[in-house]
Structure 1
Amino acid sequence: MARKTREDAELTRQLLLDTAEQVFWEKGVAGTSLADIASTAGLTRGAIYWHFTNKLDLFNALCDRIVPDLEALDASLLNQHGNPASRLWQHSHALFSLLRDNPRIRRICGIHHLGCEQVGEMAPLLLEQISWTQRKKAKLQQVLEEAQQQQLLRPGVDPALAAIGLHSLYGGLMHCWMINSDDDTIHRQLSALLSPYFEGIFSDRSWQLPLPPAGE
């Protein structure tokens, strides 16, 4: 009986997260109350407070659902196998493919970019966003420093500054697509959009070469 109760509780928690994803996407975070989520899920507010302290706690749990996919993508980037410039190029394309092909990641990232004001009860998200951005830029910088050690960067290119630029390019392209997701130009022309930046920081076009199979 206890096991069944735990299973039922987890099913309820997942239902609340599924519903929050849907309602946050449709109405924005500020425009959504916990009562809205409970009502849409066919549950009481008490069910929400059993699982989540407040809206921020619920939102963080929602974001945690996509962390494994994003961490797997970063692990591939940082595997130190093969040409670091090529790893960055492939990582860039894998990132946008994940955003395009995974509805959950697309919605949650869209909520972050377009549907969440980081004020009031959601103000702590700003610090979390700053921390996440710093970690992401540090990973990009690590690979760019590896490229510098292999003399793949153009003279005078600072890996730290190049990482900020590349991260900003990702964010700008994502935002442009999210505000008009019916237009798939960015996904169809991603290579053409990224190429000028890669050509500007790398000394040759080795970033376009495919990576060798693992172990070679």
Structure 2
Amino acid sequence: MARKTREEAEQTRQLLLDTAEKVFWEQGVAATSLTDIAAAAGLTRGAIYWHFANKLDLFNALCDRIVPALEAVDSILLDTHYNPAARLWHHVHALFNLLHTNERMRRLCAIHHIGCEQVGEMAPLLLEQLSWTQEKEALLTHVLEEAEAKGLLRAGVVPRLAAVGLNSLYGGLCHSWMIAIENDTIHRHLSAMLSPYFVGVFRDDCWLQGAAPAA
């Protein structure tokens, strides 16, 4: 009986997350109350508080759903079968392919980019985003430092600064896609959009050596 109760509780939790994703997508995060989510799920407000402390807690749980997929993509950056430049090229293509093929990923990224004001009760998200950005830039810096050690960077390129630029390029392309989510221009022409940056950072087309999926 206890196992069934836990199973039912988990089913309710997943229903609330599914419903929150839908309502946040349709209304935006700031305009959506926990009461709205409970009503849309056919549950009481108390059911939400059984599983989540507040709207921020629910939103973070929603984002946690896509963490495994993002971690799998980030693992490409550590794949020593390819040179560091090729890993970066492969990584960004895999990331945007995930956005193209995974509706949940695309929807949650759109909610985060254009449907969530990081003020009021959602203000802690700004600190979380800053922490995430710093972690991602540190990982990119590590790969670029490897590239520097192998002589793959152009003269004068500073790995830490190149990492900030590359992460900003990723974020800018993602934001542009999310505000026109039905437009697949970025997906179809991703390589052409990335090439000028890679040409400016790396030598001799080294990023195309063995790890360049088609955009």
Q: Which residue of 1 aligns with 2:158?
A: 158
Q: Does 1:38 align with 2:38?
A: yes
**1: distance between equivalents of 2:167 and 2:30?**
27
Q: Which residue of 1 aligns with 2:92?
A: 92
AA of the residue aligned to 2:73: L
Q: Does 1:189 align with 2:182?
A: no
**1: distance between equivalents of 2:63 and 2:162?**
27
Q: CA deviation at 1:183?
A: 1.5
Q: CA deviation at 1:82?
A: 2.0
Q: Which residue of 1 aligns with 2:3?
A: 3
Note the residue ranges of structure 2 that are not aligned, 5 or more in a row.
none
Q: Which residue of 2 aligns with 1:25?
A: 25
Q: CA deviation at 1:209?
A: 1.8
* SS, match of residue 154 in structure 2: coil
**1: distance between equivalents of 2:190 and 2:82?**
22
**2: distance between equivalents of 1:140 and 1:174?**
17
Judge conservation of contact 2:76–2:90 (CA < 8 Å) in 1. no
Q: Which residue of 1 aligns with 2:143?
A: 143
Q: Which residue of 1 aligns with 2:179?
A: 179
Q: Which residue of 2 aligns with 1:81?
A: 81
AA of the residue aligned to 2:12: T
Note the residue ranges of structure 1 that are not aligned, 5 or more in a row.
none
Judge conservation of contact 1:83–1:207 (CA < 8 Å) in 2. yes
AA of the residue aligned to 1:15: L
Q: Percent identity?
A: 72
| Runs of 4+, deviation exceeding 3 Å | none
**2: distance between equivalents of 1:4 and 1:105?**
30
Q: Which residue of 2 aligns with 1:54?
A: 54
* SS, match of residue 88 in structure 2: helix
Q: What's the TM-score once normalised by structure 2's chain length?
A: 0.97
**1: distance between equivalents of 2:91 and 2:19?**
31
Q: Which residue of 1 aligns with 2:127?
A: 127
- RMSD after superposition: 1.1
**1: distance between equivalents of 2:73 and 2:183?**
25
How many residues were matched structurally? 212
- The CA deviation string for residues 99-154 of structure 1, in whole angstroms up to 9 with x for no partner, is 11101111111111000000000000000000000001111111100000000000
